Amino acid sequence: MTAMTTSRRTIVEALQYREARQSIVSSYVLTDTSPPSRINAVWRQKVIHWYFTVVAALRRQHAASSAASPGSSSSDVNPFDRTMVHVSASLLDGYLASLSGERAMRYKRRAAYQLLATTCLLLGMRLARHESIKEDLVSTDGGGGLKRAKTHRTNMNDAINEASTAAATRVAIPTAATILRISAAPMSITERHVLAMVNELTGSRSFPRSGGVVTALDYVRALSSSFPSSGYTDEEEDLPVSLGPDGAEEARRLADLALVDSTYPPLRPAVLACAVISLVLSKSSSSSDVVRRCVHRSVLGRLADDPELVRAACKAESHLRVLRSEPPSRDARRAIIAPPTSHLIPLEDD
């Protein structure tokens, strides 16, 4: 098979197409500063703090295990990273936004919301790991490797196992029982409950049938100068925007900041990507308007002139500029350094 020639433009256009297929897109609030009524901003913030805490704990656990394993290298990539949090949060937001008003009322109860959030973390970690393995295989065999991602119902587990066998390094993604154990989840949530919720969530219209979940981090990675763009040449008129390693890391940090902010609604991945990338690149430019237009063209493509999307991106950029200048809250610090000893959503009434 002849290796595929893939420019960054082609990769971003593929992200745009996949994002358009995510049913959550039509449910995002693009201009209002209040989250959708069915999204409890306080609960969502606590859950995302919990996501970061659990993933950080698993990352430390994996690093310690790898260091003790013979033949391991310090250059081995740790699979537990912020991508898992962003994918899990997208699943959570997408599922809630896809529900009818009557069904959405179910998740006004803490116990139901906790169960949904735990299930989204389990599925988010698996989807993120699956996509990571698929990208590794594609970069290794020049575009071959995995076929259409099997992410529907029980096929998802089969696809992950198949990909893990083909990958150079096998990494065990935690089971529902592991997540419940390390997070000391409420007794009302059991492995049986989580697995039942997996079937419900993967059967919903919001769950990705192929291609995984698109997040702002995907656009940041695609526009990073370190992203492997196979066969790219200057003649292909590639994208005018490129992030260096430090800029890409800052953009990812800003995306994390937006994710845990309870005062701002969830945004389309491309809109959030425009905001964080523009904010990073404008620091080193004397003309932020020119930079912003280049970023919008690179990320939004043909939608770069859509007034609603442009307003939303500019508004998010201004909001993040303020957040970036503020010292991190105690809760934000706790999300990074605290051990996962509770689900962080109290069961008692407010």
289-310 per-position pLDDT tens digit: 888 999 999 999 888 889 999 9
**pLDDT confidence of 71, banded at 50, 70, 90?**
low
Q: Which residue has the tokens 């526009």?
A: 223
Predicted local distance difference test score (pLDDT) of residue 136: 58
For 163, 222, 283, 311, the CA distances from 297, given in Å and listed in that order, are 34, 14, 19, 14
Predicted local distance difference test score (pLDDT) of residue 348: 53
Predicted local distance difference test score (pLDDT) of residue 73: 56
Q: What is the mean pLDDT of the chain?
A: 76
Residues 167 and 165: their CA atoms lie apart, in Å, by: 6
- Residue pLDDT, tens place only, 48-65: 999 999 999 888 888 888
For residues 58-81, give the mean pLDDT. Answer: 75
Higher pLDDT, 127 or 37: 127
For residues 3-12, give the mean pLDDT. Answer: 67
- Residue pLDDT, tens place only, 144-165: 433 333 444 444 444 444 444 4
The alpha carbon dihedral of 93, 94, 100, 106 has a sign of negative
Whether the CB-CB separation of 79 and 55 falls below 8 Å is answered with no
**pLDDT confidence of 341, banded at 50, 70, 90?**
low
Per-domain boundaries in the chain: 8-68+76-229+238-337
Q: Which residue has the tokens 């063209």?
A: 297
User: Token pair of 223, please?
Assistant: 């526009």
Predicted local distance difference test score (pLDDT) of residue 267: 87
Other CB atoms within 10 A of residue 234 CB: 6
How many alpha carbons fall within 13 Å on the CB side of residue 70? 0
Predicted local distance difference test score (pLDDT) of residue 328: 61
Residues 183 and 196: their CA atoms lie apart, in Å, by: 19
